[in-house]
Amino acid sequence: MSYQVLARKWRPKRFADLVGQEHVVRALSNALKEARLHHAYLLTGTRGVGKTTIARILAKSLNCETGTTADPCGECSACRQIDSGRFVDLLEIDAASNTGIDNIREVLENAQYAPTMGRFKVYIIDEVHMLSKSAFNAMLKTLEEPPAHVKFILATTDPQKVPVTVLSRCLQFSLRNMTPQQVSSHLAHMLEVEQIAYEPAALALLGRAAAGSMRDAQSLLDQAIAYGLGEVKEDGVRAMLGAVDRRYLFTLLQALSVADGAALMAEADNLAERGISFDSALTELAVLLQQLALAQTVPAALAADEPERDTLFALADAIAPQDVQLYYQIAIHGRKDLALAPDEHAGFNMTLLRMLAFHPVNAPAEAAAPPRPAAAPQARPGAVASAAAPVERGMSPAARALQAAGLASQTQAKSAPRAASEENAPAAEPEPEPAPRPQPPAAQLRPALAPTPAPEPAAEAVAPRQSAVVAVPQAVPAVEADAEEDDERDEDEIDDMPWQADDGEAIPDYAQAPPLDDEPVNYQFDGDWQALVVDLGGKLGAARMLAHNAVLKGWSQQRLELAVPESFRHMSGRDYQDKLKAALCERFGHGVELTVTVEELGMETPAMVDARQRQEQLAIARECMKNDPVVQQMVREMGATLIIETIQPVQE
């Protein structure tokens, strides 16, 4: 008998044999037990998670000669023929190769005939999203109200391409990707039944390489058995997959834990000599760091049968938890940057050097750092400590790594030094408090999203600020480093202030202007409609949209004539006019006649003026951010990118 591949030999024949799809199995089993059967099912999920397998098991459950059951016998004629693909009342259609309306029309014409042998005629349409639009339209009516003896089971890997009219006619089940642990456990069961020797670490590699697909895992297992001459060994699987031997990664992390730069670079060169893919090396390094973080924070979550459990716990004790988090972040960003590096070897080395550069303060790499300028310590004690020891008191390792990658926000960079300095400053040497810096007048404040260029600092404070920038690139202006101990204006206080124009006058906010108290009874209107809208403020109520989108055509103390554009015709109704008229009468102190017409006058409404002024202020804020010296320094020296479109005004 010819050899049958594992993926076909081990295809589940019952719901109980399925792995990782318990939510689907439970729903279908209960529906079969209670005879609550739908006429159409849609199974979605990536390749190799069991869509077609579940469809065939469901077809057996519907046509088993023992009756409709969640546990088909597998021995009757119908079950055996379905397993072998010879059951006449089970039609499997590949929609990828039968996409046209003619193919679907043939299916629909045959659906009206009763089944030949079974209880139900079952149509399994695989990759249903490949059908044409006309084919979908042709099957809609039959899919919604098929004959009682017909069941449709649709399967797709891309449900977004299935029309909603089809989705609404089906019961949809989303199949999940299987975890590496589920895959490796099932592969171990298969090998034990097949009586093939294996190593658990090899199956763990196959489980990760399968990326959630059991069929892919079984195909890789077939390949591994052939590669290992009937055995599944870790070394053979690594060689077959091109994966990195984790022993090399353990050596890398051990060298990193003691800041041994020479050993770190030597091990990187060894990986290059072995022809290891550096992209795979960084991927495996990230996986290993994730396991270290798990061992440090939730030790019980680490699998008890993990082959390298002892080594993982030993490394977890040798590396600080915050450093593990930092190294993981650097590893995943280093993998992304490999395509931009001169070559993969250089990119991998730079990733390791970046990890080494952010090693704790007692590392040799810190001792070998360039000396700070001599003039810095005499200028300002508070700034000296911040500049000369950025590692101890500047910010956490994770924040420093994110800043080096150009990812830390200004708020994070500004808040980190204050928190770190308060927490880590030595108790025996408190820092002297500098004199408070005068606060700028309110009219000169700008929105928090666009900081204005800092004023020119005093001559004696220039040196420490320059040394701080040279030592560790900061994502905040240099003057903010000096203001760590000062009484800074609270950010919420700035956000609560109105937007300011260049001349210092607040831009009016028609939508949120507070109502006036103690207004004069006999109000003298001067023709300024925008000012009147501001005065009315919250008293407009439901008429606010009409007032904001209207222009004044003519006026007197007893009569106002307004016009709204065609797009706001619905605002010119009597209800809105009456509400606006009531607010005007209350403001004027006497009766006012109001007329509203629909026409284009070529004038700006209060809403248009407000929108224009906000856009102008936003443009000023974005230009200010673009020209900020610290932002320019980050772009120039660190390769950062300022995404202008993300700068938005702060809404109250």
From 338, 365, 392, the end of a domain falls on: 365
Task: Answer for the pair 383, 482: CB distance below 8 angstroms, yes or no.
Answer: yes
69 and 162 housed in the same domain: yes
Domain region containing 559: 507-641
Q: Phi, psi (5° rounding) for residue 515?
A: -65, 150
Q: What are phi and psi of 562, to 5 degrees?
A: -115, 160
The pLDDT of residue 370 is above 60:
no
pLDDT band at 528 (very low <50, low <70, confident <90, very high): confident
Supply the pLDDT for residue 365. 40
Same domain, 153 and 285: no
Residue 367 has pLDDT above 60, yes or no: no
Domain match, 162 and 187 both: no
Q: What is the pLDDT of residues 457-483, one digit of tens each?
A: 443 333 333 333 333 333 333 333 343
Q: What pLDDT score was predicted for residue 196?
A: 92
Instruction: Look at residue 455 and tell me whether its pLDDT is greater than 50.
Output: no
Given a cut of 70, is residue 340 above it in pLDDT?
A: yes
User: What is the CB-side half-sphere exposure of residue 472 using CA atoms within 13 A?
Assistant: 26
Q: Are residues 21 and 169 in the same domain?
A: yes
Query: Residue 235 pLDDT more than 70?
Result: yes
pLDDT surpassing 90 at residue 54:
yes
**Residue 486, token pair as written in the block:** 């000062």
pLDDT confidence of residue 473: 37
Confidence tier at 650 by pLDDT (50, 70, 90): low
pLDDT > 70: what percent of the chain? Answer: 73
In a shared domain, residues 513 and 634:
yes
The answer to whether 147 touches 111, Cβ cutoff 8 Å, is yes
Residue 62, both tokens: 């519907």
CATH number of the domain enclosing 201? 1.10.8.60
Query: pLDDT tens for residues 486-498?
Result: 444 443 433 343 3
Task: Indicate whether 327 and 269 sit together in one domain.
Answer: yes
In a domain, 523, yes or no: yes
Averaged pLDDT for residues 320-329: 91
Using alpha carbons, list the distances in angstroms from residue 228 to 195, 215, 216.
14, 20, 18
The answer to whether position 486 is within a domain reads no
pLDDT of res. 243: 66
**Number of domains composing the chain:** 5
Tokens of residue 484, six digits: 């760590």
Q: Is 490 inside a domain boundary?
A: no
Q: Which of 37-46, 110-119, 201-210, 529-538 is modeled with the greatest confidence?
A: 37-46
> Is residue 335, in this structure, part of any structural domain at all?
yes
SS (H, E, C) 451-503: CCCCCCCCHHHHHHHHHHHHHCCCCCCHHHHHCCCCCCCCHHHHHCCCCECCC
Q: If we measure between CA atoms, which residue out of 6, 5, 60, 68 comes closest to residue 36?
A: 68
What was the pLDDT predicted at 449? 35
Same structural domain, 471 and 537:
no
- Is residue 502 predicted with pLDDT exceeding 70? no
- Grouping H, G, I as helix, E, B as strand and the rest as coil, residue 173 is strand
Same-domain pairing of 106 and 22: yes
Both 25 and 157 in one domain: the answer is yes
Residue 412 pLDDT exceeds 60: no
- For the whole model, what pTM was predicted? 0.49
Q: 333 and 230 in one domain?
A: no
Kindly state whether residue 420 falls inside one of the protein's structural domains: no
| Assigned domain for 558 exists | yes
| Per-residue model confidence (pLDDT) at position 567 | 75
The mean pLDDT value for 410-428 works out to 41
Closest by CA to 108, choosing from 131, 77, 84, is 131
Closest Cα partner for 12 from 61, 68, 45? 61
Strand partners, 596: 562
Decide if 87 contacts 117 (C-beta within 8 A): yes
Question: Does residue 96 sit in the same domain as residue 168?
Answer: yes
Chain segment 542-565, per-residue pLDDT in tens: 778 888 888 888 888 888 888 888
Residue 504 has pLDDT above 60, yes or no: no
The CATH number assigned to the domain holding 628 equals 3.30.300.150
pLDDT at 429 (0 to 100): 43
Supply the DSSP symbol for 506. B
Tokens of 449: 């999203």
Tokens of 372: 């700070």
Radius of gyration from C-alpha coordinates of the chain: 36
Residue 260 backbone dihedrals phi, psi, to 5 degrees: -90, 90
Q: Decide if 106 is inside a domain.
A: yes
pLDDT of residue 554: 85
Q: What's the chain's average pLDDT?
A: 75
The token pair at 329 is: 């972040």
Residue 132 and residue 209 in one domain? no
Contact 18, 25 (CB under 8 A): yes
Average pLDDT value for residue range 83-96: 88
Closest listed residue to residue 150, CA positions, set 80, 63, 65, 79:
63
In the DSSP assignment, the letter for residue 390 is H
pLDDT in tens, 425-452: 444 444 444 444 444 433 333 333 334 4
For residue 463, the model assigns a pLDDT of: 38
Compute CA 56 distance to the chain's CA centroid, rounded to the nearest angstrom: 36
